């Protein structure tokens, strides 16, 4: 029987709290790293940075006023006026922002930075977001992650790919649409 090490649990909890504080308060903390980490993002519109731009869907953020405070002052597919949570985390860890998995620009060395698999409109429940016609449900995001690993393996080999994935930072943000779409939009909900 494996017992939880209280010091380890406490350390993990403190790291999580520190990460939340870094993003919430915009505090800059320099953490020495031996090498850069890949960053993988899964979830909904809070973290989607443009995957839905490549889909036939009504859940899109590719027109004004989205992006007005983004560095290019144009809509990018982010459901925000500027940077989103993954952009800020990438900045804080000293990495370039992850690209949407469906972007043609995500190839070669750019794959080693990680990828964003998020899709606006999804939820934990499989029928959340059915009104948006075509979105990347969490199960499909995980299938794309498997494809991603195959693509990286062809680039750097299976052992290096396993190391890259094992040492990566992962952000999963979803569940809000399950409440909004299924409880607050009752006339339009399958529930």
Q: Is 21 inside a domain boundary?
A: no
Domain that holds residue 115: 39-184
pLDDT digits (tens, 9 = 90+) for 2-33: 445 544 444 444 444 444 444 444 444 444 44
| Residues 116, 137: Cα–Cα separation, whole Å | 13
Backbone torsions φ then ψ of 42, nearest 5 degrees: -130, 145
26 located within any domain: no
- Give the position of tokens 């709290």: 17
Per residue in 114-125, pLDDT tens? Answer: 999 999 989 888
User: Looking at the domain assignment, is residue 67 inside a domain?
Assistant: yes
Number of domains in the chain: 1
Q: Is residue 122 part of a domain?
A: yes
- DSSP state, residue 111: G
pTM of this prediction?
A: 0.78
- The single-letter DSSP state of residue 65 is T
Sequence-distant (6+) residues with CB within 8 A of 4 are none
Strands 169-173, 114-116: parallel, antiparallel or unpaired by DSSP? unpaired
pLDDT tens digits for 25-58? 444 444 444 456 899 999 999 999 999 999 998 8
Model confidence band, residue 179 (pLDDT cutoffs 50, 70, 90): confident
Q: Which residues pair with 49 in a beta bridge?
A: 78
Q: What percent of the chain has pLDDT over 90?
A: 47
């Amino acid at each position: 029987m494996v017992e939880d090490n209280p010091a380890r649990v406490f350390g993990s909890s403190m790291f999580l709290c520190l990460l939340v504080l870094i993003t919430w308060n915009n505090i800059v903390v320099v953490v020495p790293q031996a090498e850069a980490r890949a960053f993988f993002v899964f979830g909904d519109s809070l973290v989607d940075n443009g995957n839905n731009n490549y889909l036939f869907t009504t859940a899109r953020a590719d027109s004004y006023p989205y992006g007005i405070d983004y560095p290019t002052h144009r809509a990018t597919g982010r459901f925000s006026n500027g940077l989103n949570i993954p952009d800020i985390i990438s900045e804080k860890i000293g990495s370039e922002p992850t690209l949407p998995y469906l972007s043609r620009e995500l190839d070669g060395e750019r794959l080693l930075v990680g990828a964003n698999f998020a899709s606006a409109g999804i939820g934990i429940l499989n029928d959340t977001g059915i009104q948006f016609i075509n979105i990347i449900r969490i199960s499909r995001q995980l299938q794309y992650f498997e494809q991603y690993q195959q693509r990286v393996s062809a680039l750097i080999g299976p052992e290096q790919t396993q190391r890259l994935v094992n040492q990566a930072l992962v952000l999963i943000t979803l569940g809000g649409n399950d409440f909004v779409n299924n409880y607050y939009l009752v006339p339009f909900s399958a529930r």
